[in-house]
Amino acid sequence: MMVDRVSVEELKREADAWIGDHASEISEWHNTIWNYAEPAWREYKSSAWFVARLRAEGFTVEEGSAGMPTAFSARWSNGPGPTLLAYAEYDAVPGNCQSASTQRGPREGLSRFAPGHTDPHSALGISSLAAVLAAKTVMIENEVGGTLVYTGEPAEKVCGSKVVHGVHGYYDDVDAIISFHPFYMLPLCNTVRWDTHCGAYFSKIYSFVCDSPETWGALDNSPIAAAHSAARAPGADAALTTMWSLTKTSQDSMAAATGGWSLSEAILTAGQATADNLPAGLAQIEYSWRTPDLATAERIGRVLDSNARLAASSAHCEVEERWVSRNRPGIANHEMAEVTWQNMQRVGPPVWGEDARAVANALREELGVPGVERPFLPETESLIDPRDAESQLRALLPPWQTNWTSDDYVEMTWYAPTVRLYVARPALSREGFEAAIPAWVMNALGGIASTIDPTIQCAARVIAGTLLDLFSDPTRLVRAKSEWRERRSSGPMEPLLPKDFTAPIDFRWPEYVTTERGHDWWIPPSTEF
């Protein structure tokens, strides 16, 4: 329905009030997800919590959407109107376990090698959930028609779920998407992206398999008749380390040294777990590369594939490949950016109170730096116009580069008009610091209620206001969709994965397990090796 501007502003005030009235409850929700801190593809408790909460709020929820056990797709309708989507992320990062305190140390009962929220995705999910529930309440009370879709997106740290949800049709009937992420680095702090969106992200697992070690070195490919002779075969571990070394050697030659591309790897736990007199039969390594354009991504992929074949051949192995993710670079939508920016201006930046400043100064003193009157990074306490942010960003990039960094929200931009919103997360001011501020400090700030709650409250209000604008004024969606169709048709690009693609959930991703010893973490549970 069409609502006049005064009425829309009243709807937003009602949403603000709901979020404020539920502030303590929302904070408790965040504390729950932050402490679950489950890693990619293994977010069992976190996804179950969201599913239960959404069902209690009247949403119809599909668990395990698109074949991903820790994903979900929820839907609630208040009659005819637009269909708008927001989403949760909730995966954490192994090796970043930090308590919600001003001293370095893991959460109780866990090793420092367990996972923790770094970005934090816990705040991302709870902010968008609070916004959706506030909008739903206002829609019911004011007879605003429309449908809310809320998806659970696991494994963002490997850009895993959105490409899968996309090719399986979960975004096909959506009119617009709101994408939010806590952030603190200029120029993308308390703003929205304008033209330069994220680029491509590719990730692939190479599995080296040594099935016939006994034939190593035999000219006629027949078994060697000697006890334990198979132990002389290089095996899968040798293939993996050969690829790792070869890739390190060739990395500088993979693509031009421009555009800000990067390559990282992770060695998955696989193969035998006993140092027996046998070569490793299986070894796996995941490579992920971030590029501003597809041509660079494909070029890097060809070098990696070649390195894998050479490494396998040299170590008497076969190699198998499995995609984890392939994202298309993102496309802008000014109409969506403008309506969201207007709501950000209405709400303002996060405001950190006296308790938060005390926490920040306690952290500074823990690091040997005196406290200050304004202990937070100044940029986190102000807004930046998206056009100004774009200008600052473009000043750092060559003219040919149309995308920068990478993230998996970009895949959503090909299914519906999408905005990318950034609200500041708490970050310490650099005043007085000579060395880099350690990562555990940022992780702790993301779990302490007084420092992270302002981010959540601010983001929830901006998202709820944007949803209500789009539900109430269909002309904005008409303009957004017209712009989206024009931009999409100017550079059409089909999904980079097949429609029957399945998420790589079967690999040995880190996870919590329950054994006869009790609840345990399969990464070392203590510092005693």
Beta bridge mates, 72? 63, 152
Total domains in the chain come to 2
Residue where one domain finishes, among candidates 276, 303, 326 = 326
* Rg of the chain over all Cα atoms, to the nearest angstrom: 25
For every residue of 102-145, DSSP letters joined together read SS--PPTT--TTS-B-SS-HHHHHHHHHHHHHHHHHHHHHHT--
State whether 206 and 244 are in the same domain: yes
Give the type of residue at 168.
H
Predicted local confidence at residue 514, as pLDDT: 66
Residues 136-145: tens digit of each pLDDT: 999 999 999 9
Q: Is there a domain that residue 13 lies in?
A: yes
Report strand pairing: 418-424 vs 318-326: unpaired
Phi, psi for residue 89 in degrees, rounded to 5: -120, 155
In angstroms, the CA 490 to CA 486 distance is: 6
State whether 261 and 342 are in the same domain: no
Residues 58-67: tens digit of each pLDDT: 999 999 999 9
State whether 128 and 13 are in the same domain: yes
The stretch 53-73 carries a mean pLDDT of 97
State whether 143 and 35 are in the same domain: yes
Predicted local confidence at residue 5, as pLDDT: 57
529 falls in which pLDDT band (50, 70, 90)?
Answer: very low
Total-model pTM: 0.94
Predicted local confidence at residue 523, as pLDDT: 60
* Block residue for tokens 């959706």: 132
Predicted local confidence at residue 485, as pLDDT: 97
Structure tokens at 408: 């998996």
Predicted local confidence at residue 186, as pLDDT: 85
The single-letter DSSP state of residue 182 is: E
State whether 301 and 339 are in the same domain: no
The count of residues in the chain is 529
State whether 109 and 257 are in the same domain: no
Residues 212-259: tens digit of each pLDDT: 888 887 655 555 555 566 778 899 999 999 999 999 999 999 988 888
Residues 104-133: tens digit of each pLDDT: 999 998 888 889 999 999 999 999 999 999
Percent of the chain at pLDDT > 70 equals 93
In angstroms, the CA 212 to CA 190 distance is: 57
For every residue of 292-310, DSSP letters joined together read SSHHHHHHHHHHHHHHHHH
Residue where one domain finishes, among candidates 276, 291, 326 = 326
Distances 151 to 64, 179, 300 between C-alpha atoms, Å: 11, 11, 32
Q: Is there a domain that residue 506 lies in?
A: no
> Within its chain, how far is the Cα of 420 from the centroid?
13
Half-sphere exposure of 358 (CA within 13 A, CB side): 5
Mean pLDDT across the chain, nearest whole number? 93
In angstroms, the CA 234 to CA 237 distance is: 7
State whether 15 and 110 are in the same domain: yes
Half-sphere exposure of 331 (CA within 13 A, CB side): 21
Q: Is there a domain that residue 518 lies in?
A: no
The stretch 171-190 carries a mean pLDDT of 95
Residue where one domain finishes, among candidates 300, 326, 352 = 326
Predicted local confidence at residue 2, as pLDDT: 52
Whether the pLDDT of residue 329 is over 50: the answer is yes
Q: Is there a domain that residue 516 lies in?
A: no
- Could you tell me if 30 and 129 are in contact, meaning their C-beta atoms sit under 8 angstroms apart? no
Whether the pLDDT of residue 348 is over 80: the answer is yes
Predicted local confidence at residue 527, as pLDDT: 47
In 158-218, DSSP assigns E strands to: 176-183, 191-192, 200-209
State whether 405 and 381 are in the same domain: yes
For every residue of 47-98, DSSP letters joined together read HHHHHHHHHHTT-EEEETGGG-TT-EEEEEE-SSS-EEEEEE--EEBTT---
Whether the pLDDT of residue 279 is over 90: the answer is no
- Residue 205 belongs to what domain range? 201-326
State whether 359 and 288 are in the same domain: no
Residues 315-327: tens digit of each pLDDT: 999 999 999 999 9
In angstroms, the CA 462 to CA 86 distance is: 12
Residues 425-475: tens digit of each pLDDT: 999 999 999 989 999 999 999 999 999 999 999 999 999 999 999 999 999
In angstroms, the CA 212 to CA 515 distance is: 34
Q: What is the CATH number of the domain that holds 234?
A: 3.30.70.360
H-helix or E-strand containing 513?
strand 512-515
H-helix or E-strand containing 77?
strand 72-77
State whether 352 and 471 are in the same domain: yes
Residues 392-434: tens digit of each pLDDT: 999 999 999 999 988 999 999 999 999 999 999 999 999 999 9
In 171-329, DSSP assigns E strands to: 176-183, 191-192, 200-209, 262-268, 282-291, 318-326
Predicted local confidence at residue 528, as pLDDT: 45
Whether the pLDDT of residue 6 is over 80: the answer is no
The stretch 162-169 carries a mean pLDDT of 98
In angstroms, the CA 100 to CA 35 distance is: 9
Q: Is 48 exposed, middle or buried (0-12, 13-18, 19+ CB in 10 A)?
A: middle
State whether 194 and 221 are in the same domain: no
Whether the pLDDT of residue 178 is over 90: the answer is yes
State whether 352 and 377 are in the same domain: yes
Q: Is there a domain that residue 519 lies in?
A: no
In angstroms, the CA 366 to CA 383 distance is: 30
Q: Is there a domain that residue 380 lies in?
A: yes
478 vs 279: which has the higher pLDDT: 478
